[in-house]
Structure 1
Amino acid sequence: HLIYGLNRRKQKLEALQRKMKFTCFGGKKLARARTTVYAGQHETWLKAYQSARNRTMMIQGRRQGKFSNNLFQYHIEEGVLIYRCSSEKREIPLKIEFHQYKEELERAVRLPHNTPGKAVAYVLEDHGAYFIIKAIVEMEEKAKSEDTEQGVIGIDINVNHIAVSETDGCGNCVLLKTVKMPLDGKNRKQRKHQIDQTVKEVVLECVRSHKPLVMEDLDFQKTKSKMRYGNRRQNKMLSDFATRKIEEAIVRRCWKEGYGVKKVNPANTSKIGKEKYSKRMGCTVHMAAAYVIARRGMGME
């Protein structure tokens, strides 16, 4: 049986290596729904599929030229984005205002001809009654603050909150707090928004104290692979615990603010926090674990 299983897996691996990679425009879920959800409703499915397939378009940037793009010309002073329609040989002016990171976009457009980082790409999203236009620019990398001599901000990531701890240069606790992160009962977009808001509040502690952030190097892939053998409540908790998205949001936010992120070994942080600090400091186990993580990032645990 073992030899048969090994040979079978070798055959699958060879087949996957020979298989040509492909992209399904419009999404695999909607493509498969043609024979399930939309069974017998081909016209309805075709309309939904074409709408999903043609909903988004990205125009790549170009660092040659004045306006950083071939088809779009962003006039900063007038606040007008002009679309050059080559098929009809005319220009379509669009009154537009970019809000977040507007300074970065204007900096890229004002860069001299053929300068690295000048290219600006634009993404158009069709929402039926209106369009959303997004600009993609290459941001300048800030100098990261990674000095731990004056203390750090340690965090302990949990299912519905993030425990935060701040230490001084001697490893003493300066601050303990909890930032709530309610994800239960929310859909994908709501969960993403909630994670971003929670991470923003956590990283504000780094900005306030001018200290880098220390977190656990978590990996729940092996645990999630065993979900079929766990109970329903534990499986639901692990599914909601989007550790990878939380880590990516933290690293991205710290990069934008100019603070480094240090990952430490997560072994026994909660146990050490419970035994050594929780009762003495009068805090929860998660806060104590965040304090242990902060001290471990400074090389004191």
Structure 2
Amino acid sequence: KTMMIPGRRQGKYSNCLFKYQLEEGVLIYRCSSENREIRLKVRFHANAKKLERAVKLPHNTPGKAVAYLLEDHKKYFIIKAVVEMEDRELMENKQDGVIGIDINVDHIAVSETDRCGNCVLLKTVPMPLRGKKKNQRKHQIRQTVKEVVLECVRSHKPLVMEALDFEKKKSDMRYGNQRHNQMLSEFATKQIQEAIERRCWKEGYGVIQVNPAYTSQIGREKYSRKMGCTVHLAASFVIARRGMGYQN
């Protein structure tokens, strides 16, 4: 149902099988077995200018390669262009504090620390995914992540999150009960992490990953009652402090 055609930096059109004609808005597939070209009228929406920039770059230049992902939806095709990310310096200075997050099934808990590791902000960003369709979940994840990363932009501080173990989550889904499996599936943890990394990169902020061990337990026992907040908010504070090098 899907096929990825890798990009390449060599050549004029950034791809070995597809030629993207910018002026005409046509993607041409070169079918060598039949010795003919198939012309596809396309319009790229998000980040179209980055695609155009890549295609226009000189031969064998970093950022030149463009891959195309084709998705067969029976009645129609969706074509996605995948461009190389530019090399850029990300803000990763923890001297003035960080933004810590704890990802949960229906929300992301956010905390901010100052240069001494003290809490200066606690915030819950809703992320209602339960019962939504695939595209609706993707949209909701993007909106939630956008609001979270705005805290990095506002405070000019990098983001700290847990280093998530996706193999363990797969194992949990394999042996857990049906309701728990559905929750994990709708949770879409990997999608959320990738969305966070993309958004942070776009805004110019680094993502620092820390050991996830016992963050909720420490938050519950040491900070939740003391700070008058939920366990998830306390866990985000533990994650933030861990990212700054404190032993909680």
Tell me what 1:182 maps to.
128
Contact 1:63 1:119 in 2 (8 A): yes
Q: How far is the alpha carbon of 1:178 from its aligned partner? A: 0.8
Query: Residues 254-265 of structure 1 correspond to what in structure 2 (within 5 A)?
Result: 254-265=200-211
2:78 matched to 1:132? yes
Partner Cα distance (2:30, 2:126) in 1: 47
2:14 matched to 1:73? no
Contact 1:104 1:139 in 2 (8 A): no
Tell me what 2:47 maps to.
101
Partner Cα distance (2:79, 2:223) in 1: 51
Which residue type is aligned with residue 207 of structure 2?
Answer: V
Tell me what 1:205 maps to.
151
Tell me what 1:281 maps to.
227
TM-score by length of 1: 0.67
Which residue type is aligned with residue 140 of structure 1?
Answer: E
Partner Cα distance (1:244, 1:257) in 2: 20
How many residues get paired? 247
Provide, for residues 251-292 of structure 1, a one-character-per-residue CA deviation record: whole Å limited to 9, x for no partner.
343334332222223344334333443344332222122122
Provide, for residues 198-253 of structure 1, a one-character-per-residue CA deviation record: whole Å limited to 9, x for no partner.
22322222233221111123447558747788776656555554434433333343
Contact 1:142 1:256 in 2 (8 A): no
Which residue type is aligned with residue 195 of structure 2?
Answer: A
Moved segments of 4+, more than 6 Å: 87-90, 226-232
Tell me what 1:247 maps to.
193
Tell me what 2:237 maps to.
291
Tell me what 1:121 maps to.
67
RMSD value, Cα: 3.4
* Higher alpha-carbon Rg: 1
CA distance 1:228–1:100, change in 2 (3 Å)? closer
TM-score by length of 2: 0.78
Contact 2:172 2:181 in 1 (8 A): no
Contact 2:162 2:210 in 1 (8 A): yes
CA distance 1:158–1:70, change in 2 (3 Å)? closer
Which residue type is aligned with residue 138 of structure 1?
Answer: E
Q: Percent identity?
A: 75
CA distance 1:174–1:100, change in 2 (3 Å)? same
Contact 1:108 1:120 in 2 (8 A): yes
Tell me what 1:169 maps to.
115
Q: Which secondary structure state, in structure 1, belongs to the residue aligned with residue 149 of structure 2?
A: helix
**Which is helix-richer, 1 or 2?**
1
Q: How far is the alpha carbon of 1:61 from its aligned partner? A: 3.2
Partner Cα distance (1:61, 1:86) in 2: 17
Tell me what 1:41 maps to.
none
Partner Cα distance (2:31, 2:176) in 1: 57
Which residue type is aligned with residue 85 of structure 2?
Answer: M
Tell me what 1:33 maps to.
none
Tell me what 1:63 maps to.
9
Provide, for residues 26-85 of structure 1, a one-character-per-residue CA deviation record: whole Å limited to 9, x for no partner.
xxxxxxxxxxxxxxxxxxxxxxxxxxxxx5454443433322235433333454444556
Instruction: Select 1:143's aligned residue among 89, 98, 105.
Output: 89
**Which is strand-richer, 1 or 2?**
2
Q: Which structure 2 residue ranges, 5 or more long, are not aligned?
A: none
CA distance 1:118–1:280, change in 2 (3 Å)? same
CA distance 1:93–1:241, change in 2 (3 Å)? closer
